[in-house]
Amino acid sequence: MLDIKFLRENPEVVKQNIRNKFQDQKLELVDKVMALDKENREIKQEVEALRAKKNKISKQIGALMAQGKKEEAEQIKKEIAADGARTAELSAREKEVEAEIQQIMMVIPNIIDPSVPIGKDDSENVELERFGEPVVPEFEIPYHTEIMESFDGIDLDSAREVAGNGFYYLMGDIARLHSAILSYARDFMIDRGFTYCVPPFMIHGNVVNGVMSFAEMESMMYKIEGEDLYLIGTSEHSMIGKFIDSILPEEKLPLTLTSYSPCFRKEKGAHGIEERGVYRIHQFEKQEMVVLCKPEDSMMWYEKLWKNTVDLFRSLDVPVRTLECCSGDLADLKVKSVDVEAWSPRQKKYFEVGSCSNLGDAQARRLKIRVNGEKGKYLAHTLNNTVVAPPRMLIAFLENNLNADGTVNIPEPLRMYMGGKEKLIPKK
For residue 254, is the peptide bond before it cis, meaning its omega torsion is within 30 degrees of 0?
yes
Are 126 and 117 in contact by the 8 Å Cβ rule? The answer is yes
- For residue 187, with 0-12 CB atoms within 10 Å meaning exposed, 13-18 middle and 19 or more buried, which class applies? middle
Question: What backbone torsions phi and psi does residue 317 show, to the nearest 5 degrees?
Answer: 65, 35
Contacts of 257 (CB under 8 A, 6+ apart): 194, 195, 196, 197, 239, 289, 290, 291
- 263 strand-pairing partners: 284
Question: Which SS3 state, helix, strand or coil, does residue 164 take?
Answer: coil
Question: Measured at the alpha carbon of residue 265, what is the angle toward residues 184 and 396, in degrees to the nearest 5?
Answer: 40
CA distance 26 to 29: 5
- For residue 390, with 0-12 CB atoms within 10 Å meaning exposed, 13-18 middle and 19 or more buried, which class applies? buried
DSSP strand E in 28-139: where?
A: 126-131
Q: Which residues are catalytic?
A: 265, 280, 352, 355, 392
Question: What backbone torsions phi and psi does residue 256 show, to the nearest 5 degrees?
Answer: -120, 115
Closest CA to 127 of 352, 397, 335: 352
DSSP-derived secondary structure letter, 26:
G
